[in-house]
Every structure is written in C-alpha cells, then in structure tokens.
Amino acid sequence: MIVTVDPGSTVPPYDQIREQLTTMIQAGVLAAGVRLPSIRQLAADLGLAPNTVARSYRELESAGLIITRVGRGTTVSRLPTLPAAERQRLLRAAAESYLATAARLGSTVDEAIAALRSGA
C-alpha cells in the first residue's frame, strides 16, 4: 500500500493522503511519470469514498505535483525533487519527533531503536 490513513486521527483523511503523497513526490520516492493508483482503487484499498481520494488528488493537481487526465489516470509531474540535504533535515525532524514520543512513553533511546527493528 502506497499510503496509509489513520481513521482515529483528527487530521482528515484527504489531508493525510495529500501530505503523504506530497512527501513522497518531493523526496523523489515517487519519480516523475510514475502512475498513481486510480481514485477508485485507492479509495477501495483505504476503505474510503472515492470522493475523498479525489479531493486529495485534486489538491495535489492544483499544487502542480501530479497530472490527471480523464480516462488515462494520474501521474507524477516532472518537478525538481528536494535536495538530499533537505531530505536529511526532514528525516532528522521525524527522528526527533519519534524519540520525543518514545520518551513520553518512558522508553530509552535503545528501546526506541529496538522497537524499530522488531517492527521491521
């Protein structure tokens, strides 16, 4: 699954989808020209109404990140990806956020790392 949605979050599903796809496209993980799953397909996979996914795609399109053509699906547009330094900065930020959460749960750094390995 290319994207995941947490139904318990206060962040609306269409926003979660948009944010995750934005990250992947800007990081170059989804390269220019790659075809995204169809609206109906992704909606079915996530258990959402097609309209919800359509809204995410529509906003990505108006942001210039993807190109949609009726009858031909949706592809990632040709845009410069984030430089490696910026990707590294974002990874650091995510790491800090994870460590902060772990600390709030009373875990040490080693336990936090172990949780990563066990989940892999």
Partner DNA sequence: GTGGTCTAGACCACG
Partner DNA sequence: GTGGTCTAGACCACA
Residues that bind a copy of itself (CB under 8 A): 4, 10-11, 15, 20, 23-24, 27-29, 62, 87-88, 90-92, 94-107, 109, 111-113, 115-120
Using CB under 7 A as the binding rule, whether residue 85 contacts DNA is answered as no
Residues 51, 37, 33, CA angle at the centre, nearest 5°? 120
Least CB distance from residue 119 to DNA, whole Å? 26
For residue 14, the partner it binds in a copy of itself, DNA, none, with Cβ less than 5 to 8 A by kind, is DNA
Least CB distance from residue 18 to a copy of itself, whole Å? 11
For residue 21 the two structure tokens come to 């796809």
- Rounded-to-integer distance, Cα 41 and Cα 3, Å: 12
For residue 52, the partner it binds in a copy of itself, DNA, none, with Cβ less than 5 to 8 A by kind, is DNA
Given 2, 32, 54, 99, the residue binding DNA (CB under 7 A): 54
Given 58, 77, 81, 82, the residue binding DNA (CB under 7 A): 58
For residue 28, the partner it binds in a copy of itself, DNA, none, with Cβ less than 5 to 8 A by kind, is a copy of itself
Q: Which of 50, 53, 57 is nearest to 22 (CA)?
A: 57
Q: For 94, how many CA atoms within 13 A lie in the half-sphere containing its CB?
A: 7
Q: Which of 95, 20, 16 is nearest to 48 (CA)?
A: 16
66 close to 24: Cβ distance less than 8 angstroms? no
